[in-house]
Amino acid sequence: MNKLVVGAGVIVVAAAAGFYYANSQAENAIKEQIELANQSYAEMAATGLMPAISIGYQDVSANVLTSSYSVSGLDVSVVGMGQVATIEKVTAVGLKPKGLSDKGSAQVVGVKVAEPMLAMLPPQMNEFVKGVALHADYSYEYTPATGELYFSQDTRINDEFSLAYTFSFAQMQELWAFARDMSEKTPEEQLELSSSTAYMTDVMSKLVKGAIKNGELVITNNGFIERLVAMGSAQGQMPPLDALQGMALMAITADENLPLAMKETLTTFINQPEKLQVNVSFAEPLSFETVQSGELAAELQTPAQMMEFANLKMVAN
Q: What is the pLDDT of residues 150-176, one digit of tens each?
A: 999 999 999 999 999 999 999 999 999
For residue 9, pLDDT over 70 is answered with: no
Q: What is the pLDDT of residues 240-293, one digit of tens each?
A: 999 999 999 999 999 988 899 999 999 999 999 999 999 999 999 999 998 888
**Position 27 in a domain:** yes
257 phi and psi angles, rounded to 5 deg = -85, -20
Contact residues for 55 (Cβ-Cβ < 8 A; gap 6+):
34, 37, 38, 41, 74, 75, 76, 77
- Give residue 96's pLDDT: 67
**Position 117 in a domain:** yes
The domain in which residue 44 lies consists of 1-125
Q: What is the mean pLDDT of the chain?
A: 87
Contact residues for 119 (Cβ-Cβ < 8 A; gap 6+):
126
Displacement of CA 160 from its chain's centroid (Å): 19
288 phi and psi angles, rounded to 5 deg = -65, -25
**Position 1 in a domain:** yes
Q: What is the pLDDT of residues 174-225, one digit of tens each?
A: 999 998 888 887 766 777 787 777 888 888 999 999 999 999 999 999 999 9
**What is the rounded CA–CA span in Å between residue 72 and residue 55?**
12
**Position 31 in a domain:** yes
For residue 6, pLDDT over 90 is answered with: no
Contact residues for 94 (Cβ-Cβ < 8 A; gap 6+):
67, 101, 103, 104, 105
**Position 164 in a domain:** no
How far lies 64's CA from each of 25, 57, 68, 71, 266, in Å?
A: 10, 21, 7, 15, 47
**What is the rounded CA–CA span in Å between residue 149 and residue 94?**
16
- Give residue 110's pLDDT: 96
**Position 213 in a domain:** no
Note the pTM of the prediction, 2 decimals.
0.84
**Position 30 in a domain:** yes
Q: How many domains does the chain have?
A: 1
- Give residue 99's pLDDT: 74
CB-based burial label for 85 (10 Å; 0-12, 13-18, 19+):
middle
Confidence of residue 16 (pLDDT cuts 50, 70, 90): very low
**Position 43 in a domain:** yes
- Give residue 197's pLDDT: 79
